[in-house]
Amino acid sequence: MEVGPQNHTLHGLSFAVRKEHAMISNLLGLLGGEMGPVRGMAGLFKLQDETGFYDGQDIPVTWFSIDESSVKISAQSPDTEITMLFTYKDGVWSRRDSLRNLKKGKSKITCVRQKFLLRGYDYEVFTQEGGWITENQGSWKKMLPGGAHTHNIGSRTCDGAQPFMAIKNPLQGNGVAFDLLPCGKWSIDADSVFNSYCPAVSISMGMPETDFELVLEENETVDLPEILFWSFESGDNSMGSHKLHEFLIKNRMTNKELPVYWNSWFFDFDRLDYDKFIKEADAAAELGCEYYVVDAGWFGDERWETCVGTWKETETSAFRGKMKDLADYVRSLGMKFGLWIEPERVVNTSELYKEHSDWVINNNGFSGQTNFALPKVHEYFDDIISGLIEKYGIEFIKFDMNVEGDRDETGSCFFRYYQGYYRFYEAFRKKHPNVYFEFCSSGGLRSDTKNICMADSHFLSDTINPVDSLSILQGACMRAPSSMISKWHGVVESDSLRNPIYGEKQKKIVACADATWESGIEVCHHFMEAFMMLGPWGFTSKISDYSDEYRNMLKNSVELFKKYRGFIKNSSFRTLTPIKNMYDRKGPVIFQLSDVYEDRHIITVFKLEEFYSAFLVQPKGIDPNKKYAFRYIRGGQDATPSVISGKEILEGGIPAVFEAYKYSALMIEIAEVK
């Protein structure tokens, strides 16, 4: 179509389109760019192919179309067509860009970045950093002349940082959040740009800007990483992430019911004993578990870490060939059987390596990464894992990934690897629709939104310290609702602790405070109950040792979770208190779950080390013109709700009063009276 000067506005985005460039002139309430085709200050992308570098200028716009929910723009260099598709749905914008090779023969792309431009420079930027057991630690920073930059390390998409950035106007407090769904390595950069027009901020994201090379076959089209973005208002601690959650719940999540399960890892790690596991199966069934999952250690002939890639049950250790008997026993108790597997890692002493060493990349002399860019790898693991499913009747698979790969011989920064990885898991999930899939990567080192939505849930972190996990979960929920994040209940009872005042021994609940059971932290049962209510519930300790009293408390908590899990699955997540890092244990942490289909909410209030024992809760999304029933909920109790107006809730709040000194919690249900 003929492209002339045009300006269009759709759901908060204003597009300015010229023959030589297109840009966003209003970005959901922030002032975008419209200053002419000046290098660094125009356009929607950066592109470098073999004909040159294009940064919003000297590349003709060949197509522009707009309807009630989408905008499509195409531009062409002599070798490459780039197409940008913006789609609005359920409060969130999606941007999907694609590249098409126009050249006769292969072409080489050495830079391609999706871009957004803002006028002015006095902005604040939020990014998330974190490594193993310190995931999702975010903070606001003032934009400085050097800009703000964040990127991952190696082949795991959330190793070192998370693909999320928010930017806000500090005067009004409103802003825009960006959630990048990566395809390999990634970076997000907010750079200050100055010239004779006026200062600006150029936000670019996607594949890394340097050390990147993607070779396109003749006529090949590839999809670039998707970007989800949305606006947020001043004072919103969660930066509008409830909008993203509603979008994901309605459009991207699987329909599996949130499970209660037992995982073997923190029971006795990789020391698997048939008789002990039978005893834990009895206890798991009594608590109300629906799945029973055997973690690492069931395969090979020696210690599991020397056998990754030999996906056959060990006959010389662990269950000694009796895992099918265990699976049958689990099913006789009314539970479903699950298994851990790690297809993307292979050690040099394994069966896979001995047969297919040419499939291995990033080999460090002991272990490496199975190259999922190869279709033969897909066929191999389809056969292997499908065979395990059939043999043991598996209905839950935990897929792990513990490779710190940093070298991609193709030069594409693992773009081709992740293309294959996504194809494999999408096809495998469709082939086995009744299997529950949980993803993990040394905890949360690949918990980007794309990966989370590939599975039924994603594991939060390898630390199961429930206090640290509040901060880790809070950050993860910038990218996904808590219903998609599974957490583990690793607790022992102890009667060796004495009351500090009276001296008598008391039963205490001690949770694992790390990833290895080297330390513990005393918490209240209601703290654990409220934390586990936020998403899929996994037990992972020696539950057969629990006292009758504590076992009954847990059974009541599990029944409460099952009563509310339909609500939890359909709920967005907000943080009502300021963002905390995991070392800040002062003051309360308050979360809100809100049903995206009904006016119904659950507030969870966590008391940390604060001396004060009463807090006032100010929920969000309450209609002042409605009546609400509210009550405090707890396992084993059924409180009568009180009726209160929305206006009273908004003006006076709801009190949260505690008895315990620290590490306690309570939950409040608020529902519209119809």
Condensed to tens digits (0 to 9), the pLDDT of residues 411-449 reads 999 999 999 999 999 999 999 999 999 999 999 999 999
CA distance 650 to 23: 40
Condensed to tens digits (0 to 9), the pLDDT of residues 39-64 reads 555 789 999 999 999 987 778 899 99
Given this model, what pLDDT does residue 21 score? 80
pTM across the whole model: 0.97
Q: Helix/strand/coil (H, E, C) string of 554-604?
A: HHHHHHHHHHHHHHHHCEEEEECCCCCCCCCCCCCEEEEEEECCCCEEEEE
CA distance 422 to 442: 19
- Per the CB < 8 A criterion, the answer to whether 615 and 590 are in contact is yes
Is it the case that residue 195 has pLDDT exceeding 50? yes
Which range (35-39, 351-355, 399-403, 536-540) has the least confidence?
Answer: 35-39
Q: What is the mean pLDDT of residues 542-563?
A: 97
Given this model, what pLDDT does residue 497 score? 57
Condensed to tens digits (0 to 9), the pLDDT of residues 288-335 reads 999 999 999 999 987 888 999 999 999 999 999 999 999 999 999 999
Given this model, what pLDDT does residue 53 score? 93
**Can you count the helices (H) and strands (E) in the chain?**
12, 44
- The secondary structure element, H or E, covering residue 15 is strand 13-17
Q: What percent of the chain has pLDDT over 70?
A: 96
Q: What is the mean pLDDT of residues 245-259?
A: 97
Condensed to tens digits (0 to 9), the pLDDT of residues 553-603 reads 999 999 999 999 999 999 999 999 999 899 999 889 999 999 999 999 999
- Output the six-digit token pair for 365: 């002399």
Domain coordinates of the chain in residue numbers? 6-251, 260-459, 589-672
Locate all alpha helices (DSSP H) within 76-189, ordered by sequence: none
**What torsion, rounded to 10 degrees, do the Cα atoms 578, 584, 586, 591 define?**
40
pLDDT level of residue 122 (50, 70, 90 thresholds):
confident
Q: Work out the burial of residue 522: count CB atoms within 10 Å of its CB; fewer than 13 is exposed, 13-18 middle, 19 or more buried.
A: middle
How high does pLDDT run on average in the chain? 94
Q: What is the mean pLDDT of residues 372-398?
A: 98
Which range (137-146, 154-163, 221-230) has the least confidence?
Answer: 137-146
Condensed to tens digits (0 to 9), the pLDDT of residues 602-649 reads 999 999 998 778 889 999 999 999 999 999 999 999 999 999 999 999
DSSP β-bridge partners for residue 117? 202
The letter for the amino acid at 50 is: E
Give 559's contacts (C-beta < 8 A, 6+ positions apart).
Answer: 288, 635
- Output the six-digit token pair for 338: 């699950």
Which range (24-28, 147-151, 163-167, 301-305) has the least confidence?
Answer: 301-305
Given this model, what pLDDT does residue 38 score? 54
- Per the CB < 8 A criterion, the answer to whether 201 and 123 are in contact is yes
Is it the case that residue 499 has pLDDT exceeding 70? no
CATH classification code of 6-251: 2.70.98.60
- Per the CB < 8 A criterion, the answer to whether 589 and 577 are in contact is yes
Condensed to tens digits (0 to 9), the pLDDT of residues 125-138 reads 999 999 999 999 99
Supply the DSSP string of 266-332, one letter for each residue: HHHTT---HHHHHHHHHHHHHHT-SEEEE-S-SBSSS-GGG-TT--SB-SSSTTTT-HHHHHHHHHH
The topology under which CATH files domain 589-672 is Immunoglobulin-like (2.60.40)
CA distance 179 to 96: 12
Percent helix, strand, coil in the chain (nearest 5)?
A: 20, 35, 40
Condensed to tens digits (0 to 9), the pLDDT of residues 273-282 reads 999 999 999 9
CA distance 176 to 118: 11
Given this model, what pLDDT does residue 360 score? 97
Given this model, what pLDDT does residue 192 score? 87
3-state secondary structure of 423: helix
pLDDT level of residue 22 (50, 70, 90 thresholds):
confident
Given this model, what pLDDT does residue 39 score? 57
Is it the case that residue 1 has pLDDT exceeding 50? no
The CATH class of 260-459 is alpha beta
Is it the case that residue 263 has pLDDT exceeding 80? yes
Give 370's contacts (C-beta < 8 A, 6+ positions apart).
Answer: 309, 343, 344, 345, 346, 352, 359, 360, 377, 381
